[in-house]
């Protein structure tokens, strides 16, 4: 188990289409997921996608009970989601602030589907199928965007709502750099 380097915006490896996971329940997959959780927790992240540590697989993790980077966010169950497919439950979208461990120090206002269905598999190949909304839905969309080479600034519509976290949210933990 180890904390891995998180790639930052500008690295072309963040712009790739990720490949499906084809083998489940392997030691390599388990070790990768443990490294991802170590890396996410070390950075106080709400989620992390495998491409962010340079692994071009359709694998994301997310979830927390409380998060210093998003102190108002409700808990999201700790989840390993592989080969995900997202389907919106309506046309409704919501705007809210997002950050990204690959875009440190910045936040932007991003429109996302308000409610969605997602499915995929866990690390053992067991199916996952959930209907979610709110912050949970936002986190899933943000992380799964990484699997298509999309970073949240590419989704910002109003660039007057894009700026430095320390300026926009000075009350947030000063040790949080992202």
Residue 35: Cβ within 10 Å count: 18
Give me the 111-150 binding string for Ni ion, x by CB under 5 A, dash otherwise: ----------------------------------------
Residue 92: Cβ within 10 Å count: 10
Nearer to Ni ion, 24 or 111 (CB): 111
Residue 34 is among the residues annotated as catalytic for this protein: no
Min dist CB 158 to Ni ion, Å, is 19
Nearer to Ni ion, 50 or 100 (CB): 100
Cα Rg, the chain, nearest whole Å: 15
- Distance, in Å, from the CA atom of 154 to the CA atom of 79, rounded to the nearest integer, reads 25
Residue number closest to Ni ion, CB atom = 100
Nearer to Ni ion, 53 or 121 (CB): 53
Applying CB under 5 A, the site for Ni ion has a residue count of: 1
Nearer to Ni ion, 85 or 154 (CB): 154
Q: Would you call 106 helix, strand, or coil by DSSP? A: strand
- The residues, any chain, with a CB within 8 Å of residue 137's CB and separated by 6 or more, are 112, 113, 114, 115, 116
Told to check if 100 binds Ni ion by CB under 5 A, we report: yes
Q: What is the dihedral of CA 105, 14, 114, 47, to 10 degrees?
A: -70
Q: What is the dihedral of CA 46, 42, 147, 24, to 10 degrees?
A: -100
Catalytic residue among 19, 98, 143, 171: 143
Min dist CB 40 to Ni ion, Å, is 10
Binding site for Ni ion (CB under 5 A): 100
- Show which residues are catalytic: 143
């Amino acid at each position: 188990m180890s904390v891995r380097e998180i790639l930052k915006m500008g690295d072309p490896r963040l712009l790739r289409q990720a490949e499906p996971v084809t083998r489940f329940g392997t030691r390599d997959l388990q070790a990768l997921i443990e490294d991802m959780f170590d890396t996410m927790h070390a950075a106080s992240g709400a989620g992390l996608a495998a491409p962010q540590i340079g692994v071009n697989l359709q694998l994301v993790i997310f979830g927390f009970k409380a998060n210093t980077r998003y102190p108002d966010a409700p808990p999201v169950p700790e989840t390993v989601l592989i080969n995900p497919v997202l389907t919106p439950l309506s046309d409704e979208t919501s705007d809210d602030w997002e950050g990204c461990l690959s875009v440190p120090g910045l936040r932007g206002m991003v429109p996302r589907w308000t409610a969605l269905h997602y499915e995929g598999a866990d690390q053992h190949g067991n199916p996952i199928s959930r209907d979610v909304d709110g912050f949970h839905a936002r986190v899933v969309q943000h992380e799964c965007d990484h699997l298509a080479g999309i970073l949240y600034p590419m989704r910002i519509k109003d660039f007057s709502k894009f700026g430095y976290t320390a300026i926009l949210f000075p009350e947030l933990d000063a040790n949080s750099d992202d």
